[in-house]
Structure 1
Amino acid sequence: VGKSWITLQLAHGLQHVTGKKVLILTSDNQNNILEYAGKEKIELGSGLESWISKGSGDIVRLRDNLFFIPLKASHINSASKDKLSKFIENMKSEYGYILIDSTPMIGIDQIFVDLADKVIVPGFADKVTINSITAMLENIQLSKLSAVIINKWGRTAKEKKYYKGLQDVLNGNDIFLTVPISQCATIGKLIDEGKTIWETDNKKIKATQEVFISVLEAIL
């Protein structure tokens, strides 16, 4: 779905728009944020689990006022919830926004959902996404579900059908559904270069930038 890539675009966009320091956390030990930001060669010593248990660990500067704390362990232990909550509260004094690149939505980390002010769902225009979001509407506090981002759009008839289904599912709820982000070779080139969509003036990226601007507006 591109959850890590989407998280990075939103985080860098928030830093641009607000001028505040932004921190990205992850519950996915693949730490794909680093590769998307062009920092994949950085050697990691300790990560989020160390911050939770010891109050210190690795923190990677991705861009000016944009930072990332990786995860080294396979998962966050549910017993660490209170410590994680305290850690995030401490970080709120230093960062204007904290984004969490969570594990895939079908098995989302309940710890992070509980701590989050807002939840943004990335997905495809397909049956799985519709079913997942329908289940979420029943299980997540609706005030937290801020936006649904449809990614890797191929413009097929079936996708259009499922996108209309998403609109129907979300109708009546105060949840923003984006215009789909089309698959684009230019985005692939930016990924290869370790750049975000905010670091190019390529006109082919303008429509994608506008999608993310609309999500930032929904967040703010």
Structure 2
Amino acid sequence: MEKKIILTYRKGNILNGCRLNLTKELVNILDLNEEKREFILEYKDKNIFLMATNNDIKEKKSVENGEIKHLTIIMKAGYEKGKNNYKISIPLQVAKMMQLDKIPMVKVKIEKNIIKITGIEKKVVNEVKEERILKREGKIYMITVKKGGSAKTFTAIQIAYFLAVIKKSKVLLISSDTSNDHLFNLLTVEEAQELSKDNNVSIDAVGKITIKKGLKQLVLSSEKKIDYKDYIIEARENLDIIPLESDIFRLTTAKEFTDYQNYMLKFPKVMKQLRKFYDYIIIDGIPVSDIDNFYTEVADKFIIPIVPDEATIRGAINLVQKIGATRIHAIMVSKYRKTAAKDEYLQMLNSWIKKTSIIYPEPVKELAQIEQLIKNKKTIFESESKYLLETQKSFIKVAKDM
């Protein structure tokens, strides 16, 4: 498998850290858990070998002409309890010798309970990229609703996570709503800064996050030669985010209005190019009709999240009639609490949906566990709570046939 290496820099663009996030399979091979996080790292012949610890290991290091030829050390994996994520730091001198600072990408191979990590040459990277371009023609799904507070962003994140981490597809998540960007819903402030590239994320003294270059700049610069990776932040394995800069639709000056027109014109072309790199692109829409319309044009299918009240349900039905039922993949009810009134509204929706092929899973209940997960920047699939099993099943029903 291929994996990205996460690089961090300190002031002066000096490499400060080189990190690899571990999959569950790799964690199991190294026999890691929350209490036991030691493992063996061996470097030789420009390859890294990772192994579980044993009593016979002896640390050693040989240097020739200022370069490490052989290194065996015991290291400790980093652990994020809230996300159950494990990560390892690669010694900077080893990273530079493997040229990971130039091409932050590695091949990971498992050989008899030993993890072999090999750097990727530029030529190979280009060949891999071209192969992926030939194979991929990603589907674009839009999460849309004409009313705020309908769990739109929550829905987009859960579906994107399932497709990327559980289904093992390559997924891009983008937002059209700066007030509720995925970057801040999936990553802590520290993670957002650490995972950004080229200092793309800045944080002020009070913890406010600012995106320096995101979807707006990518779209407006699309006539130039662009490396899409410059705009991407990896939120989870196989799940990338292109954040949206603030105030993109403020439209208070002539330049802002011109930029907005150019954005609408170029956006479909950029999405056509991005399809080549991803299996799925999930667009989190914005509940403003005029702005949302040009996003709608590029989507293949739609998922409509709603809350169980009469106005929202009637609005959803009107939206389906406007877009066309054949383009609606699913309607998802969120924030459900059982009351006679809500059940009456849902019965109205259910009787109408039966006439279509739209997927309609069990309503997602309003749960304290979901609120806590959102606070901890986690998805429902990163929890083992029995109270979330029904919620997980609802999202699986929507995502598995996408």
TM-score, normalised to structure 1's length? 0.91
Give aligned-pair identity as a percent. 28
1:150 is the counterpart of 2:324: no
| Secondary structure of the structure 1 residue equivalent to 2:331 | strand
1:187 is the counterpart of 2:370: yes
Instruction: Report the CA distance between 1:105 and its aligned residue.
Output: 7.3
**Does the 8 Å contact 2:174/2:182 carry over to 1?**
no
More strand by share: 2
**Does the 8 Å contact 1:39/1:62 carry over to 2?**
no
Q: Which amino acid aligns with 2:179?
A: Q
**Does the 8 Å contact 1:119/1:147 carry over to 2?**
yes
TM-score, normalised to structure 2's length? 0.51
**1:61-140 counterparts in 2 under 5 A?**
61-72=234-245, 73-75=247-249, 77-104=260-287, 109-140=292-323
Instruction: Report the CA distance between 1:107 and its aligned residue.
Output: 6.5
Count of residues paired in the alignment: 219
Q: Which amino acid aligns with 1:48?
A: L
Q: CA RMSD in A?
A: 2.0
**Does the 8 Å contact 1:45/1:58 carry over to 2?**
no
Structure 2 CA distance for aligned equivalents of residues 64 and 136 of structure 1: 34
Instruction: Report the CA distance between 1:185 and its aligned residue.
Output: 0.9
**Does the 8 Å contact 2:303/2:332 carry over to 1?**
yes
Instruction: Report the CA distance between 1:108 and its aligned residue.
Output: 6.7
Unaligned runs of 5+ in 1: none
**Does the 8 Å contact 1:4/1:33 carry over to 2?**
yes
1:54 paired residue number: 221
**Does the 8 Å contact 2:334/2:363 carry over to 1?**
yes
Which residue of 12, 17, 21 maps to 2:170? 21
| Secondary structure of the structure 1 residue equivalent to 2:231 | coil
Greater Rg, structure 1 or structure 2?
2
Q: Which amino acid aligns with 2:363?
A: P
Deviations 1:109-139 (A, max 9, x none): 1111111011000101111222212211321
Could you say if the C-alpha distance between residues 26 and 153 of structure 1 is closer, same or farther in structure 2, counting changes exceeding 3 Å?
Answer: same
Q: Which amino acid aligns with 2:174?
A: L
2:390 paired residue number: 207
Instruction: Report the CA distance between 1:35 and its aligned residue.
Output: 2.5
Structure 1 CA distance for aligned equivalents of residues 307 and 385 of structure 2: 25
**Does the 8 Å contact 2:216/2:248 carry over to 1?**
no
Unaligned runs of 5+ in 2: 1-149, 193-200, 202-210, 250-258
**Does the 8 Å contact 1:153/1:182 carry over to 2?**
yes
Instruction: Report the CA distance between 1:148 and its aligned residue.
Output: 0.6
Could you say if the C-alpha distance between residues 3 and 17 of structure 1 is closer, same or farther in structure 2, counting changes exceeding 3 Å?
Answer: same
Structure 2 CA distance for aligned equivalents of residues 145 and 152 of structure 1: 21
Q: Which amino acid aligns with 1:90?
A: Q
| Secondary structure of the structure 2 residue equivalent to 1:148 | strand
| Secondary structure of the structure 2 residue equivalent to 1:20 | coil
Structure 2 CA distance for aligned equivalents of residues 4 and 154 of structure 1: 20
User: Which of 137-146 and 91-100 deviates more?
Assistant: 137-146
Could you say if the C-alpha distance between residues 78 and 129 of structure 1 is closer, same or farther in structure 2, counting changes exceeding 3 Å?
Answer: farther
Instruction: Report the CA distance between 1:18 and its aligned residue.
Output: 3.0
- Runs of 4+ more than 6 Å apart: 105-108
Structure 2 CA distance for aligned equivalents of residues 161 and 97 of structure 1: 35
Instruction: Report the CA distance between 1:40 and its aligned residue.
Output: 4.4
| Secondary structure of the structure 1 residue equivalent to 2:283 | strand
